[in-house]
Chains A and B, each alone.
Chain A
């Protein structure tokens, strides 16, 4: 068994991942970050502006040029405008579930929700197919989980940190950070005592699955909790002031920084939440004063840092909400739920950055030509992680289930060799 932590620096992470890829059948060696913009961001006020639409449609924001000729995004995203060559914008995504719960399930699984099958979130598929190093969880959700493991079972659910990191405050990761009253030495002593007295099945450890599984997971939990690498990965105080400033000292900045650190350490899938996009009222102040500047700063920093460390090439990034918002601004300067049009960003791994794929009509009401479904978006994202979206699982529902049954990879988004 490989133990990177125990061997210190004798083998590099990429060697480790390479070795694992040789073992695992479908491990591409890639990782992924999913930034979920909960609430449903207004597509026409972020990455799909309609400056020529009547004022009640186009809203209060103006488009700004970007580093890619012909591509324009919202004026409140200046840093991302300068980095438009780092990501691709997918416009004209369309579906019909304008409900937060159902829309989220759809976007986070790539399958239309049904009472018959509980589909797994992308991170759970990654966690099943692409194991992490021994002393790290494969799938981490910063704050709460966005969606669950579905038919893959609890084993492939995310380790959720239970809260967002806040600048200047100690950050406790549920299950990883030791309680203040418990030193690592005490935890290790307790574990030794446990190993000492857990004797009921001695001599029969391999007999039953449940016993075997408990041994395996208890050992892995110990490795994760006691590992310096894992504790360091979650420890934002190890970051310099410069990095803190670059990502931003707000919650989303800290979450984005943590996500980046976790990927650097070897976690395979991280979800980051930025909520507050459900702007039924006061849409423009909410977006212009906090959501967009924060997102602009932290997401830019994330892309920069992944690029600097060379990890952008192996990290698939997806930014999406659960739907878009109504074309017409309502009486409260807000926009309501609208699933017929939305947009997403993709970056990293095989994404052909610096382009816009797809389009909406002149009032951003729906796709201009052929729209893309959440299923298509899912197929594209999974492919970019190195997972075949047409792969099948023998889920416990009596028939094989295709990971993303109806989706096709969106043309032109990925460089497919």
Chain B
């Protein structure tokens, strides 16, 4: 319930003055006061700790940044680990001889003369300039550490929690800056005020700025986060300032009372809207809803007849019924198979074997699971734990089965297979380090790549975490296992495939032709080559996993992902689905879940993920729940309060149709009336359907941003407009062909010859319904009629009109 959630938040409505640093009350009675106090005057009798004090201080001073000593080449001979956390390397770097002149960087006998101090004090030349003043606490702290012999870190201490107060900053107009205070709570129970040792970052400078000392200034209305970094802890603090407008809060209260209380998604959205003094826009019209929902759920434009039927339908819950009907269409499964292929990286050019054939199989396999509404975790399981051979299948039967999918005469159906191994046989999955990154992207929505070379700057991942996770993917091989080699060789000899070495060879075009003719050809396979001994591996900080000798290491990963408390698996998916229905994800970018990139509505994301799990990861439930919400069904037209809001779903932000959907939509707009249904339901001729992988890489798909799926990033699918798209829609030969071959225009031509051509106005209405899915406004009819009157013939006039409509912003946008 909203109330109880609110109680959890420590809400700090700040109107008071900024308190002087030293006047701040201690955070907790038992917390150590900050180093800035302890080292302010005479050096205390304390030896600063390398991990807790020295290393964070170097980070705070910017020493380990990528343009300074964190650079992979180092700087001035000194190299520190980028963003810290490699204590051994950093300690070694600091205590080593300086490269220039062989001078020691640290002199414990004459600490003040250490280079490590003279450089940042600018007593000697330092490209990084002066980092602190003589006698400052920073100086004293480093001096004390050097004087004590510059002890290293030993075993890393574990940070249990980073607590920031206030937990949320809600500014009012003209409010004073707010000082954040940060307490580190270590697993040992020790607490320390670490505010002066933290790094602070604002996620949006136009809403709030934060000083190096953690003072937050409001710079504009809206909401964002200030992120605090210390050790490997990351904490995001929401910063909000309500929008300012003439509509009184009185009116808002009245309004909220007048409406039914929001439920589900909307309660979370509206709670935050109220906090920001935003009124949501009205709900969209039935015409807008139908177009939006049809395109988003099924990648398909509604037919003119369907629009008329829907608008005149008086049933109270007709939108809900329409959503259910759309979800039952095969086109829903087809469109969402594209999206799942995006997330998992289905790409003909990346397959180790027969790219075109395997990517089509991959797509069709996805399509069938979506059509059957297999639960998301089950679908994932059948990819994650996929093997080339079905359980109990011999190598010979496997080769026979794989060949049978390709034969020309009555081919067997790959999509019937229980599991889909092509995910694992991409080129980018061959090394464990590559596989772990791709896997984290596909199923967890997290980006591990940073941690391959250095500590992740925003997430808690260290290189050790990355290496541990990568080890799970060792032993997954694509080739020919020993027991299959003899049969493989026989098949290769029969097929005339020359094979060197034991790992087999790619299937050549010649050999593929034999499979088409119905022969069994030699197939390499995905198999697990178990390591020599039992291993204990840490699974992304969720604790160690013990792997038996012959155990498939992917099994514990799948079990872990399926656990209800898994922090990523369900969230990554619900967030991606959300992002497909709006202009952004709750977490944006949607494939970058990390603590420094928090959700705009964290409670909503939690609720959606938890409910999704409770619903047995029923994907249709998720689609239905999102599209049934008011948040999804709002008009794009702003009101006087929400013009500037782009984060809170107070109105629909127009989005461009995806590449495949535009491609199909142009065809649907121009089809003959009697093939209205067929051009939508015959998936074998649709870009969202069976043609999906065949069209991949073509000019039209490239221009409109269909992703190559060559790298681990959702950003590969581009929905931005571009010059080439405008040129394409205005003048590409493909568009000319479509307009010249339009079935509708051809039938109009026949009607004209027969003298049965309908009136200009009814043609105009039909053209609008076909393209923009709405009736034209009276002035639009008048303008179009004027054009038809001037055209060389009525049908040519309609052709021009269709060209014009397909080139409007309204056509390519989902609004």
Residue ranges of A at the interface with B (Cβ–Cβ < 8 Å): 101, 114-118, 137, 145, 148, 151, 153-155, 157, 159-160, 162, 172, 174-179, 181-182, 186-187, 189-191, 193-194, 196-201, 204, 207-211, 213-215, 217-218, 220-222, 224-225, 396-400
Contact = CB atoms under 8 A, between A and B. Distances in A.
Contacts of A220: 723, 726
23 contacts: A115-B350, A115-B437, A151-B715, A153-B720, A154-B724, A177-B731, A178-B731, A189-B787, A191-B804, A193-B784, A196-B804, A198-B808, A200-B809, A201-B654, A210-B655, A210-B720, A213-B720, A214-B726, A214-B813, A218-B809, A221-B731, A225-B731, A397-B711
Given A189-B800, A190-B800, A204-B638, A115 B727 contact: no
Contact of A193 (B636, B655, B801): B801
Contacts of B711: 114-118, 397
Given A118-B710, A398-B592, A154 B722 contact: yes
Contacts of B723: 137, 155, 159, 217, 220-221, 224
B286 interface: no
B784 A159 contact: no
Contacts of B705: 153-154
B672 to A, nearest CB: 21
Interface string B414-436: 00000000000001100000100
B449 interface: yes
Contacts of B447: 397-398
Nearest to B777: A199
A153 B718 contact: yes
A140 B637 CA distance: 38
B749 to A, nearest CB: 14
A187 B810 contact: no
Given A176-B727, A193-B800, A213-B721, A116 B813 contact: no
A175 B728 contact: yes
B35 interface: no
Given A196-B783, A221-B727, A398 B813 contact: no
**Most-contacted residue by chain A among B450, B725, B730 (CB, 10 A):** B730
Contacts of A157: 702-703, 722, 724
Contacts of B813: 210-211, 214
B780 interface: yes
B592 A154 contact: no
A209 B722 CA distance: 12
A217 B713 contact: no
B715 A396 contact: yes
A398 B458 CA distance: 10
Contacts of A101: 349
Most buried by B among A182, A210, A225: A210
Contacts of A117: 711
B245 to A, nearest CB: 16
Contacts of B725: 154, 217
B280 to A, nearest CB: 16
B329 interface: no
Contacts of A193: 783-784, 787, 800-801, 804
A64 B328 CA distance: 73
B727 A159 contact: yes
Contacts of B678: none
6 closest A-B pairs (Cβ-Cβ)?
Answer: A115-B428, A221-B726, A194-B804, A175-B727, A396-B715, A213-B721
Interface in B649-666: 653-656
A204 B637 contact: yes
Contacts of A174: 699, 732-733
B803 A190 contact: yes
Contacts of B427: 115
Give the bracket for the number of chain B residues in contact with chain A: 35 or more
Contacts of A187: 730-731
Given A214-B812, A225-B730, A162 B716 contact: no
Interface string B673-716: 00000000000000000000000000100111100101111011
A190 B732 contact: no
Contact of B434 (A115, A118, A191): A115
A226 B592 CA distance: 43
A204 B643 CA distance: 10
A224 B725 CA distance: 13
B762 interface: no
Contacts of A200: 772, 808-810, 815
Interface in B710-765: 710-713, 715-716, 718, 720-728, 730-733, 736, 740
A117 B715 CA distance: 11
A197 B784 contact: yes
A181 B740 contact: yes
Nearest to A127: B723
Contacts of A397: 447, 449, 711, 713, 715
Contacts of A159: 723-724, 727
Interface string B123-135: 0000000000000
A145 B813 CA distance: 27
B805 interface: yes
Nearest to A215: B809
A380 B703 CA distance: 30
Given A101-B349, A210-B721, A218 B730 contact: yes
A399 B454 CA distance: 12
B22 to A, nearest CB: 38
A327 B724 CA distance: 43
B445 to A, nearest CB: 13
B807 interface: yes
Contacts of A181: 736, 740
Nearest to A162: B699
A118 B345 CA distance: 14
A214 B699 contact: no
A193 B636 CA distance: 25
Given A157-B702, A193-B787, A225-B731, A211 B809 contact: yes
Interface string B17-34: 000000000000000000
A230 B655 CA distance: 31
B74 interface: no
Nearest to A101: B349
Contacts of B716: 118
A137 B728 CA distance: 13
Given A159-B727, A207-B638, A225-B727, A214 B809 contact: yes
Contacts of B638: 204, 207
B197 interface: no
Given A155-B722, A157-B722, A201-B654, 4 more contacts: A115-B437, A148-B708, A154-B703, A175-B730
B556 interface: no
Contacts of B589: 396
B804 to A, nearest CB: 4
Contacts of B804: 190-191, 193-194, 196-198
A116 B727 CA distance: 31
Interface in B78-116: none
A398 B450 contact: yes
B704 A221 contact: no
B653 A208 contact: yes
A207 B708 CA distance: 31
A157 B638 CA distance: 34
B703 A396 contact: no
B438 interface: yes
Contacts of B730: 175, 187, 191, 218, 221-222, 225
Nearest to B710: A118
A154 B720 contact: yes
Contacts of A114: 711
A155 B733 contact: no
Given A101-B349, A179-B733, A221-B723, A210 B784 contact: no
Contacts of A190: 800, 803-804, 807
A176 B809 contact: no
Interface string B558-596: 000000000000000000000000000000010010000
A191 B783 CA distance: 13
